[in-house]
Every structure is written in structure tokens, then in C-alpha cells.
Structure 1
């Protein structure tokens, strides 16, 4: 990764200065998951409710979510497709038309350009930026092509390469170790509350992402970027 500018301390109300922002990928640096599901449904002809039911049935059958297994590299993408579509009695070749699952999935995935621009602003202010993502090894070329990874991030921690995923405490420990940071100086942004809770347990500050405007406002407030704060911060935790 290309090193960012030297960290500049930002005062936060309840602890030491925040010097690093760490973001999630899916649902934060992309459009919401529900939109991706909807486009996948349109592309395959599988109703969203049926697809979600198939994932749930596969999870019960194998005792673990197939997506969770995929995100730690325990199974390959083809096995996820087999597990899920077999619950629908559907031929993967008919549904995916010979394409990889990820290619069809990424038709409904868009980069959050506004938040990406905000990360550039955070770095320009002298802070470090990291990425902590539950992701899929087969999808790495796709998501990296959609983001200026080397430009934006000082550290990338990807579950599919770590063999462990959020909210497991171990992936947060690895993140902090690679940052070489005191957890209390790290601010974490994720769209899932369970992932935020896990970050707080490790000593980080965490904000749950709801909308881009809310995230920019709340992160800007805590990191001492008043020019980005248009109204009093709310929703931080």
C-alpha cells in the first residue's frame, strides 16, 4: 500500500486523539446489500425472498452460513452456488448462464463515490485510512478494480485471506497490529451493529453506517474535521 501522510491527531470527547479511520467495504463503500440482491434477482429470475430462503436452508443444512464459509476461504465460490441453488432445485447453469456467481452479483454493486471522496479528504487532513472487509477471494479483482485501493488505504485486512471474519475478535486484533496503533486511536465504520460492537470490545470507537451523509457528519465530528460537519452530530456510539 502507498503510505498516507503523517497522522495528525484529532481530539475526541472521551479518549485519546483519533488518528486512523477504518471502513467496511460492502454496504459502506458500496450501495446497500438490498440493492445488490434486487439486481441479482432481476438477472437470474430468482425472487429475492426465494434466494434468501435458500441461503437460510443451506445454513441449517450445513450448520454454517455458506457466505460465511466463502468469506474465510473455507469453500470456493462454486461450492456456495451448489449449496444455495440446490435448495431451489435449480440448475446453476440455467440461472447463471455459465457465468461466475460473482460476475452476476457485481452487476448490482456500485461504488459509493461520495464516501470514497470523503476518505480522500480524511487522508488529506493527515489521518490514516484502513479497510477491514469480509470478502471473497474470487471477487478480489472485481472490488479492487472498483476502488483506488493503493491511493485510499494504508492497510487492507480481508477475511478471505485471513481465514477469519468479522465479528471474530481475532480479525480486529490483526487489524490493530498491522496498523501499529493503540485501538483507542482507531475509529471504525461499518453498517452492521454486531461488527461495531466487536470493534468497541477491542477498544476502538465505532460508528454504525446508516447513510453517507450521516457517516460523513459523524466521522467528521469525531475526527475534528469541522468543515465537513453541517449540523450537530447524532447517531454515534
Structure 2
């Protein structure tokens, strides 16, 4: 991977990159409702949530997060709906951003324009507003359900480029899903397939050389664009 000296922006995937589920917390919450599960809680967390047939509809804004969770409840739960909702709230709260990631984002945000590009539900942006520990680092958030398109569709990347006032060639893209990374590279983006935090940081260092090269004024650029 060659060194880029003209990088102006970095786009991050959300789930699996910026945050990760703390399964210990989610499973601990499941202990209070263990008798209500039809499927083992770990199966629900690692398989049903991510590999159910309804996620594409969710990510494209065709169904709400409430509709998805009701469909999953039928498959995974024999308790009452209120307890199911309580457990899901605990699952939502189990997504954590690590201290090393926070420090890295803070350093990057002082020199580069940062954005989130997430395949997520229509209420994702509203929910994320309750997480200033995450949103403080990002200049823009692009959500698939709001746009009606999802990664790796080129159009959602183009929308993100417009929002962050950048181009494919001057924007790094980081995602834990390899197909999205491959697509981004075909669009001309320097892209990193996230596997571990350390690996991602090392690859970022290779691209940027120094994490403090670009010194453009994001707010000045934004004002000129308006």
C-alpha cells in the first residue's frame, strides 16, 4: 500500500469498526430473561441479528427497527413483548467505542474530515444523537435507510463524498465487510479492510505516513461550498 499525501477525509463504517458489541454485557442482560428465549441467547446475538433475511429491507428503509425486532421475536422469544424490548435496549447499550479508537478519532478529527457511512435503520441517526461520545468526532453521518441505497452501491459513496466535500481519491474508507472494501477500491478510494484495531491503525499509518499531514480548514471549505 503506497503512501498518500493528499488525503483530506476518512469514512468509517459504524458497527464492527467504530463500535463493537460487548457480548458479555448483552449475555449478562439475557440471564434475567433466560427462560424466555426459544433460541440460545448467543445464537440470537451472533447469528439471528446479523444473518436474518430481513436486514436488507431494514437497511433500505423498507421496514422499521421495530418491525424487524417483532419478526425476530417470533423466532427467538416466548416471553412478553415488554421483556423483549428491555433486552433489546440492553443490547443497544452494549455497543461500545474503545478508548484507543476514541483517541485515534480525536487525533484524526483535528486534521481530517471524518464521516460515518452505515448500512442501518431509519431511526439510526436519531438514536446516535444520544451518543455524543461517538458523534463528536464526525462531520457527517450517512445512513443507508435514509438514502434508500446501501453499500457497496456506488451512489451511497458519491453521496458521502458530497456531504464531506471530498473525492474518491482523497478519501480513505474503512469497513469490516470485505465486499464493501473491494468495491471502494474499484471506485478509486484507498480502502482498509478492518480486522483488528491494531491492523487498521498500521494500515492507516502506511497510507498517511503521518496522521497529521492534511491541515485544511474544514469549516472554511464548508462555508465556500454553501
Q: Give the secondary-structure state (helix, strand or coil) at the position aligned to 1:87.
A: helix
Aligned length: 207
TM-score (normalizing by structure 2):
0.75
Alpha-carbon distance in 2 for matches of 1:155, 1:88: 35
Q: CA 1:53 to 1:133, structure 2 compared with 1: closer, same or farther past 3 Å?
A: closer
* 1:13 is the counterpart of 2:2: yes
* 1:117 is the counterpart of 2:103: yes
Q: Give the secondary-structure state (helix, strand or coil) at the position aligned to 2:192.
A: strand
CA deviation map 1:44-96 (0-9, x unaligned): 53412256665699x5xxxxx32222222211122112222222463551651
1:135 to 120, 142, 145: 120
Q: Give the secondary-structure state (helix, strand or coil) at the position aligned to 2:72.
A: helix
Please report how far the alpha carbon of residue 182 of structure 1 lies from its aligned counterpart in structure 2 after TM superposition. 2.4
* Structure 1, gaps ≥5 residues long: 1-11, 60-64, 228-237
Q: Give the secondary-structure state (helix, strand or coil) at the position aligned to 2:151.
A: coil
Q: CA 1:79 to 1:225, structure 2 compared with 1: closer, same or farther past 3 Å?
A: same
Question: Match of 1:106?
Answer: 92
* Greater relative contact order (Cα < 8 A, sep 6+): 2
Q: CA 1:111 to 1:14, structure 2 compared with 1: closer, same or farther past 3 Å?
A: closer
Question: Match of 1:49?
Answer: 43
Question: Match of 1:194?
Answer: 179
2:69 to 71, 81, 103: 81
Q: Tell me if structure 2 keeps the 8 A contact 1:31–1:110.
A: yes
Alpha-carbon distance in 1 for matches of 2:125, 2:87: 13
Q: Give the secondary-structure state (helix, strand or coil) at the position aligned to 2:169.
A: helix
* 1:183 is the counterpart of 2:205: no
Alpha-carbon distance in 1 for matches of 2:105, 2:49: 33
Alpha-carbon distance in 2 for matches of 1:216, 1:192: 17
Alpha-carbon distance in 2 for matches of 1:81, 1:100: 11
User: Which of 33-42 and 105-114 deviates more?
Assistant: 33-42
